[in-house]
Amino acid sequence: MHKSTTVIATFALLTGIAQGKSLEPSQRTFTTAVQHYLHDRGDLCLGKFNWPIDITDQDRQAGAADAIQMPVLERLGLVSSSMLSPAVIRYDLTDTGKKFYLQKTMTGLGRHEPPASHRGDFCVAKLSLDKVVSWEPATVDGRQQTTVTYTYKIAAADWTRDPEFQRVFPRVKLVVEGAGKLELKESFRLAGQNWTPFP
């Protein structure tokens, strides 16, 4: 998969995770922290922020991500195409596809780009916590922070297991098939009375 299809790039800020004694690093503390984190920021999205998407002959000749992926999404009934000109095909979400467009402010991280906020994204699955595997506490610049390793459960659209979809979105395939065994990491920093994810 291309652009910013990663778990970590498309989610809202977490607040109010823990207070009092529950701030102490422990299995319980970070179980709660990761549960809140995934509730707010656990959407697995494709980085398809703005619709419609236009594909030119040049895009097709260059093998651009959208040029490869849009026909697969059309075959699955998620987008429809129309000719804007002999050289340009426009793809837009169908009524079925619109059900997967999540309208909320998200921050996307491109491979060579700074963080950018988007008003929504095309999201194909939701992660929830399976279990906290470990945590690595540290103090940086006088502030407590911890990197938490965890496994996850996933609720994914049935068509994410379509072989052609998995071929053109390999990172989605990795995450979907990794439920219960693939280990993810998230960093949390103690800020006042909250453990909050960063950056």
How many Å separate Cα 104 from the centre of its chain? 13
Of 76, 77, 195, 95, give the one whose Cα is nearest residue 146.
Answer: 195
The continuous run of DSSP H or E covering 73 comes out as helix 65-75
The CA angle 156-162-164, to the nearest 5 degrees, is 130
| For the chain, domain boundaries | 7-45+124-194
In tens digits, the chain (199 residues) has pLDDT values of 444 444 433 333 333 333 445 578 889 999 999 999 999 999 999 999 999 999 999 999 999 999 999 999 999 999 999 999 999 999 999 999 999 999 987 665 444 455 566 789 999 999 999 999 999 988 888 888 899 999 999 999 999 999 999 999 999 999 999 999 999 999 999 877 778 898 6
Instruction: Specify whether the CB–CB gap between 182 and 44 falls below 8 A.
Output: no
- Which residues, at least 6 apart from 130, have a Cβ–Cβ distance to it below 8 Å? 150, 151, 152, 153, 179, 180
Task: Starting at the earlier edge strand, list the strands of the sheet with 88-93.
Answer: 53-56, 88-93, 79-85
pTM of the model: 0.80
